[in-house]
């Protein structure tokens, strides 16, 4: 049921956003549907929930990780659902009237509001900390979109940005905290957290601080409260819903949920009480200075959130019960007050108390609502707000001295700003020289007034007869503190300290209201005196600009554009970072040469070639020296007992040399002495560092291999090659069978490289002819004749390598490269035309066909329910050849073969030239520079 409700919000929200142009303000009527459905379904289950039987729905997600999606509605969650959906329904009705002159983005607001409501419900009903966090972040995102919906207004964008940065940063801190606490407790289930063993330790302390930072940012506590007044640029229905009644309560909700389990951990109570008290007083103080009624309410909301934070975070059930009453009372009166301000704004075009001079006769209901709701905010009897404050004072009188002082101070300010609100609304603060706009303002329609009337009636009725909320509140308290026995919620709790305090608060507040001119003069003097303290806004935007500026500065310094420099930094780090640990592992030194003396000449050739390639100034010489290194490496592979490698290296070296010549002939003969990106000494130092690091790593790695008792993998591959892989050449069996998936990845890389090379090299060929001085080369009769003979025989050899490769040295790679060598012969004889003629298909067809064949062979076993790349074999007696064994590894290898041939063909397609049309004979011309 709960999941269905969440899904309903999601679907309706997305549809409303999608259709917002058509629906316009009636989108809010659509948005009311999910709220209404939620209320109805809550009502049907409420009795059981209040009896202490929560609705629980569990969906397993990743059971191995203990991740499950648990939804749980207990009485406290039901209280929040009532707030979210009840006020949501009224706000939707109100918004239909409020947006009587809809702007283009108005309908979108309704969709976003529904999505927000769904996310908020998710926060409230999730029983898993991480699921709760996901919904929590969704409320942040939807709130951002709602504040910034008027995206043409820079103020709206700034306010939205500020809100998402502050609450988003808090959310990240909270995620860290949730993970720490969840790990320490061994459960992420909120309902199990309360009954788990008490947590302790420094990690948990840090986790608790992180969670509280998240809750404080969301609930606009000092010093993170700056975003909430800024968020008032949103249309009033949105402010009434998100920034008064619901979203800002998410932090309060979380603290209420976690306080039973975490309140005893070191920093929790000092932080909650200190921050809550500061917020309550500072918010009230600021509210008293506002001229804009909406901002007055916004700062008042900050103040009340501080009050709530203290109550629900203290970790005692009687205080928390007062918090539950205040949650309900605050939701009712603050939403009503926002609606009243919205009506005033809508009808007169201003919210500034200096421009309001009282309203006409038809406005009485609005005025009554405003005054009664403000009275509830001030905590006047016999309203719900009074009951909440009485409960709080009563609970705090015991041993919560600090909280009591904070509540009294904050409440005096609350009475004062409530009074200021009423005076402003009634026009008593209007300045004589301002235009009179309010007296003959049009009377608002009933659609606009009715929702706030409903809320006010609730405030009055629940105040006079608290029995209607009594059971709900007590059940909420017991759902938080299982073994508590909360007292009844009563209007008249007897003649006690709380009542006396209440009287004093109201009296002191009344004095402040009476002497409001003196008070604001005193406030102005105070603020002039502390003008050097940056305001929230200035501090925030100042920090942002410092951040942006330093980011730019760092980027400009670190990322100066020189690619060789970047490379140098990366290589130096890669070389030096592992060096320390590696050297410490280096205990034994192996023999210098070992028992293979032939290594010495090979090493000499390799070393000479490498150093030569690094220092010569001619391009072709460098390429040829690289080739020499390659051939010597092939010789080394022979010595090492790796014939496949040797064959591959030989074929590759031949092909690579041809390719180098093809490209380098265009380029200048010598490397020009351009300006060096990295100076020679540094370059030398980094190169030597890399060399030393590799040297040490090589010795350490081979020493580490000796410590392993037996080489499991290779031994097993040797043993299983014939019986399982049906091939005697273990290297080939590894390539096509054991590690076939790697080979598939590899040929994909080859295909991509080939396509990239052709695309790059031929980018301009279609349009304009390549401007080069080497327009083709001449045909040499000897080469042409010999290639006629050699080409087919080399291709036959390549096919032999391919087919014999499973049992003899060879295989798809070797075969393909050998065929590639044959192709290069064709090229030398007749240019790229001759290469094209030697194959019937286009290079890309061969390339792609090979890849399709390989991947297809790999996929076929899946059809018969076996695993990817599982090869099968057949064995038949054939007349002439005797017993022939064939495995499905063969088509796979044929695919590899074709891909390699395709790659070579593509390379010639990319860099090759045609024979010059007019040069039937002559010098080799361009083939060598």
Residue 855 interacts with other proteins (CB under 8 A): yes or no = no
* Residue 103 Rama label (left phi>0; alpha psi -120 to 50; beta): beta
Q: Which residue of 364, 488, 518, 562 would you call a contact of other proteins, by CB under 8 A?
A: 562
For position 847 contacting other proteins by CB under 8 A, the verdict is no
Binding segment toward other proteins, per CB under 8 A, in 123-131, 453-461, 562-570, 837-845: 562-570
167 binds other proteins (CB under 8 A): no
The yes or no reply on residue 535 touching other proteins (CB under 8 A) is yes
Asked if residue 640 binds other proteins (CB under 8 A), the reply is yes
CA distance 415 to 511: 10
Residues 486 and 321: beta-carbon distance below 8 Å: yes
Please identify, among the stretches 18-26, 253-261, 428-436, 586-594, the one whose residues bind other proteins according to the rule CB under 8 A: 586-594
291 touching other proteins, by CB under 8 A: yes
Q: Which of 1, 43, 546, 639 binds other proteins (CB under 8 A)?
A: 639
| Gap between the Cα atoms of 580 and 587, Å rounded | 13
CB of 474 to other proteins, least distance (A): 39
Does position 866 interact with other proteins (CB under 8 A)? The reply is no
- Write out the binding residues for other proteins, residues 2-41 only, by CB under 8 A: none
Binding mask 765-794 for other proteins (x = CB under 8 A): -----x------------------------
Spatial distance between the Cα atoms of 410 and 279, rounded to a whole number of angstroms? 9
Nearest distance in Å: CB 200, other proteins: 41
Instruction: Give the footprint of other proteins on residues 67-96 (CB under 8 A).
Output: none
Q: How far is CA 76 from CA 651, 702, 802, in A?
A: 76, 64, 73
Which of 44, 560, 588, 709 is in the footprint of other proteins by CB under 8 A? Answer: 560
Binding mask 662-701 for other proteins (x = CB under 8 A): xxx-xxx--xx-xxxxx----xx-xxx-xxx-xx--xx-x
Among the candidate windows 142-150, 304-312, 403-411, 545-553, which touches other proteins by CB under 8 A?
545-553
Burial class, 804, CB count within 10 angstroms (exposed 0-12 / middle 13-18 / buried 19+): middle
Residue 314 to residue 619: CA distance in whole angstroms? 77
Q: Which is nearer to other proteins, 411 or 649 (CB)?
A: 649
| Residues that contact other proteins, how many (by CB under 8 A) | 143
Q: Would you say 380 or 602 has its CB closer to other proteins?
A: 602
Name which position in 314, 626, 794, 898 contacts other proteins (CB under 8 A): 626
Residue 657 and residue 9: Cα distance in Å, rounded?
Answer: 66
- Contact residue for other proteins among 11, 573, 753, 859 (CB under 8 A): 753
Report the alpha-carbon distance of residue 288 to residue 599 in Å, rounded.
90
DSSP string, 99-111: TSS--TTHHHHHH
User: Taking CB under 8 A as the criterion, which residues in 232-271 touch other proteins?
Assistant: 232
Is omega for the bond preceding 377 within 30 degrees of 0, making it cis?
A: no
Residue 227 · residue 159 · CB < 8 Å: yes
Residue for token pair 């009933």: 446
Length, in residues, of the chain: 929
The torsion defined by the Cα of 379, 385, 387 and 392, in degrees rounded to 10, comes to -80
Nearer to other proteins, 136 or 813 (CB): 813
Of the pair 494, 594, the CB lying nearest other proteins is at 594
Q: How far is the CB of 417 from other proteins (least distance, A)?
A: 13
Q: Can residue 563 be called a binding residue for other proteins (CB under 8 A)?
A: yes
Report if residue 546 touches other proteins, rule: CB under 8 A.
no
List CB contacts of 746: < 8 A, sequence separation 6 or more.
Answer: none
How near is the Cβ of 424 to other proteins at its closest, in Å? 14
For position 737 contacting other proteins by CB under 8 A, the verdict is no
Q: Does 487 bind other proteins (CB under 8 A)?
A: no
- Paired tokens of 196: 């788990």
Phi, psi of 30, rounded to the nearest 5 degrees: -65, -40
Q: For strand 67-73 and strand 55-62, is the pairing parallel, antiparallel, or unpaired?
A: antiparallel
Query: By CB under 8 A, what part of segment 93-132 binds other proteins?
Result: none
**Binds other proteins (CB under 8 A): choice among 198, 601, 756, 856:** 756
Distance CA 475, CA 484 (A): 10
CA distance 281 to 776: 87
- Token pair for 137: 């972040």
Instruction: Closer to other proteins by CB, 600 or 879: give it.
Output: 600
Return the H-helix or E-strand segment holding 577: none
CA dihedral (746, 752, 754, 756) positive or negative = negative
Regarding 813 and contact with other proteins (CB under 8 A), the answer is: yes
Task: Check binding of 200 to other proteins (CB under 8 A).
Answer: no
Residue of the chain from 722, 868, 874, 928 that contacts other proteins (CB under 8 A):
722
| Among positions 167, 309, 411, 721, the unique one binding other proteins when judged by CB under 8 A | 721
Helices 889-911 and 740-761, packing angle to 10 deg: 20
Closest to other proteins by CB, 47 vs 553, is 553
Q: Please name the residue ranges forming H helices in 379-428.
A: 384-396, 401-426
* Rounded Cα distance, 249 and 125, in Å: 14
Restricting to residues 144-163, name those near other proteins by CB under 8 A.
155, 158
Q: With CB under 8 A as the contact rule, which of the stretches 55-63, 79-87, 225-233, 407-415 interacts with other proteins?
A: 225-233
Rg (alpha carbons) of the chain, rounded to whole number: 40
**Nearer Cβ to other proteins, position 22 or 675?**
675
**Shortest distance in whole angstroms from residue 660 CB to other proteins:** 7
CB of 671 to other proteins, least distance (A): 5
Shorter beta-carbon distance to other proteins: residue 367 or 690: 690
Q: Which is nearer to other proteins, 509 or 809 (CB)?
A: 809
C-alpha distances out from residue 553 to 65, 540, 558, 616, 722, Å:
43, 20, 9, 40, 63
- Cβ neighbour number for residue 281 with a 10 Å cutoff: 20
Using CB under 8 A as the binding rule, the residues of this chain from 894 to 913 that contact other proteins are 900, 903, 906-907, 910-911
Of the pair 203, 558, the CB lying nearest other proteins is at 558
Cβ proximity to other proteins, 129 vs 353, nearer residue: 353
Token pair belonging to 834: 């001759």
H/E/C letters for each residue in 179-223?
Answer: HHHHHHHCCCEHHHHCCCCCCCCHHHHHHHHHHHHHHHHHCCCCC
In the list 636, 801, 827, 892, the residue contacting other proteins (rule: CB under 8 A) is 636
Q: How far apart are CA 44 and CA 147, in angstroms?
A: 34
Q: Show the tokens assigned to 762.
A: 């031929």
Q: Which residue among 195, 488, 702, 872 contacts other proteins (CB under 8 A)? A: 702
**Binding test (CB under 8 A) with other proteins, winner from 22, 584, 589, 883:** 589
CA dihedral 252, 254, 258, 260 (to 10 degrees): 40
Shortest reach from residue 746's CB to other proteins, in Å: 5
Q: Which of 197, 529, 592, 863 binds other proteins (CB under 8 A)?
A: 592
**Does residue 345 touch other proteins according to CB under 8 A?**
no
* Closest to other proteins by CB, 216 or 650: 650
Window of 32-40, 210-218, 445-453, 715-723 that interacts with other proteins by CB under 8 A: 715-723
- The CB-of-354 to other proteins minimum distance in angstroms stands at 12
* Shortest CB 544 distance to other proteins, Å: 9
Angle between helices 446-464 and 467-480 (to 10 degrees): 80
């Amino acid at each position: 049921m709960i999941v269905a409700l969440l899904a309903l919000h999601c679907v309706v929200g997305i549809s409303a956003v999608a259709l917002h142009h058509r629906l316009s303000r009636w989108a809010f009527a659509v948005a009311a549907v999910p709220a209404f459905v939620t209320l109805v379904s809550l009502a049907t289950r409420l009795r059981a929930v209040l009896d202490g039987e929560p609705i629980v729905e569990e969906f397993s997600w990743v059971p191995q990780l203990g991740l499950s999606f648990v939804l749980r509605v207990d009485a406290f969650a039901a209280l929040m659902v009532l707030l979210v959906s009840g006020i949501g329904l009224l706000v939707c009705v109100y918004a239909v009237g409020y947006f009587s002159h809809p702007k283009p983005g108005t309908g979108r607001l309704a969709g976003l509001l529904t999505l927000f409501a769904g996310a908020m419900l998710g926060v409230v009903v999730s029983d898993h900390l991480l699921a709760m966090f996901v919904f929590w972040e969704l409320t942040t995102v939807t709130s951002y979109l709602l504040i910034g919906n008027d995206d043409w207004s820079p103020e709206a964008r700034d306010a939205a940005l500020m809100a998402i940065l502050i609450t988003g940063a808090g959310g990240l801190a909270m995620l860290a905290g949730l993970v720490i606490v969840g790990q320490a407790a061994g459960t992420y289930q909120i309902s199990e957290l309360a009954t788990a063993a008490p947590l302790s330790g420094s990690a948990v302390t840090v986790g608790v601080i992180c969670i509280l930072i998240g809750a404080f940012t969301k609930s606009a506590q000092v010093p993170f409260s700056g975003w909430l007044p800024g968020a008032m640029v949103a249309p009033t229905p949105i402010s009434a819903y998100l920034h008064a009644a619901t979203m800002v309560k998410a932090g309060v909700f979380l603290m209420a949920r976690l306080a039973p389990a975490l309140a005893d951990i070191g920093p929790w109570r000092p932080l909650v009480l200190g921050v809550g008290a500061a917020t309550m007083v500072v918010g009230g103080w600021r509210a008293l200075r506002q001229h804009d009624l909406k901002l007055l309410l916004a700062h008042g909301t900050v103040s009340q959130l501080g009050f709530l934070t203290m109550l629900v975070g203290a970790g005692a059930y009687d205080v928390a019960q007062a918090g539950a009453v205040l949650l309900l009372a605050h939701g009712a009166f603050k939403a009503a007050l926002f609606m009243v301000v919205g009506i005033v704004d809508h009808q007169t075009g201003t919210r500034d108390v200096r421009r309001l001079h009282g309203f006409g006769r038809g406005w009485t209901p609005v005025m009554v609502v405003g005054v009664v709701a403000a009275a509830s905010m001030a905590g006047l009897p016999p309203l719900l707000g009074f009951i909440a404050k009485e409960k709080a004072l009563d609970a705090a009188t015991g041993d919560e001295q600090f909280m009591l002082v904070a509540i009294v101070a904050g409440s005096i300010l609350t009475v004062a700003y409530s009074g200021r609100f009423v005076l402003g609304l009634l026009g008593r603060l209007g300045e004589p020289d301002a235009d009179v706009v309010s007296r003959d303002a049009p009377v608002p329609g009933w659609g606009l007034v009715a929702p706030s009337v409903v809320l006010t009636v609730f405030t009055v009725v629940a105040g006079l007869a608290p029995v209607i909320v009594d059971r709900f509140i007590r059940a909420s308290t017991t759902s938080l503190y299982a073994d508590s026995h909360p007292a009844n919620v009563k209007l008249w709790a007897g003649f006690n300290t709380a009542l006396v305090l209440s009287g004093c608060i109201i009296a002191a507040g009344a004095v402040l209201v009476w002497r409001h001119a003196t008070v604001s003069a005193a406030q102005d003097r105070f603020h002039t005196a502390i003008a050097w303290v940056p305001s929230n806004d200035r501090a925030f935007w100042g920090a942002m600009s410092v951040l942006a500026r330093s980011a730019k500065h760092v980027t400009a310094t670190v990322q100066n554009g020189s690619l060789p420099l970047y490379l140098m930094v990366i290589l130096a780090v890669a070389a030096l970072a592992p060096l320390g640990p590696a050297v410490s592992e280096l205990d034994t030194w192996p023999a210098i040469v070992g028992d293979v003396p032939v290594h010495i000449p090979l090493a000499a050739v390799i070393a000479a070639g490498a150093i030569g390639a690094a220092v010569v100034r001619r391009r072709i010489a460098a390429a040829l020296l690289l080739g020499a290194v390659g051939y010597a490496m092939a010789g080394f592979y022979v010595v090492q007992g790796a014939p496949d490698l040797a064959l591959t290296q030989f074929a590759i070296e031949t092909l690579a040399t041809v390719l180098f010549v093809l490209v380098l002939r265009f380029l200048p003969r010598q490397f020009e002495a351009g300006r060096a990106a990295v100076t020679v000494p540094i370059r030398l130092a980094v190169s030597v560092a890399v060399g030393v690091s590799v040297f040490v790593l090589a010795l350490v790695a081979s020493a580490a291999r000796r410590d392993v008792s037996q080489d499991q993998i290779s031994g097993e591959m040797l043993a299983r090659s014939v019986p399982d892989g049906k091939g005697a050449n273990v290297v080939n069996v590894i390539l096509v069978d054991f590690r076939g998936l790697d080979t598939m990845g590899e040929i994909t890389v080859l295909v991509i490289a080939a396509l990239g090379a052709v695309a790059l090299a031929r980018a301009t060929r279609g349009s304009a002819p390549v401007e080069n001085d080497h327009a083709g080369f001449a045909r040499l009769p000897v080469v042409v004749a010999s290639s006629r003979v050699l080409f087919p025989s080399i291709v036959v050899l390549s096919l032999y390598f391919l087919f014999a490769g499973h049992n003899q040295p060879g295989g798809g790679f070797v075969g393909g490269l050998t065929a590639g060598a044959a192709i290069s012969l064709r090229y030398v004889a007749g240019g790229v035309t001759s290469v094209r003629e030697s194959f019937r298909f286009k290079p890309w067809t061969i390339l792609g066909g090979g890849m399709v064949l390989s991947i297809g062979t790999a996929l076929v076993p899946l059809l018969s329910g076996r695993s990817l790349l599982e090869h099968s074999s057949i064995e038949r007696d054939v007349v002439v050849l005797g017993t022939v064994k064939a495995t499905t590894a063969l088509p796979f290898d044929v695919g590899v073969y074709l891909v390699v041939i395709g790659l070579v063909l593509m390379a010639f397609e990319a860099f090759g030239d045609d024979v010059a049309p007019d040069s039937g004979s002559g010098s080799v011309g361009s083939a060598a520079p």
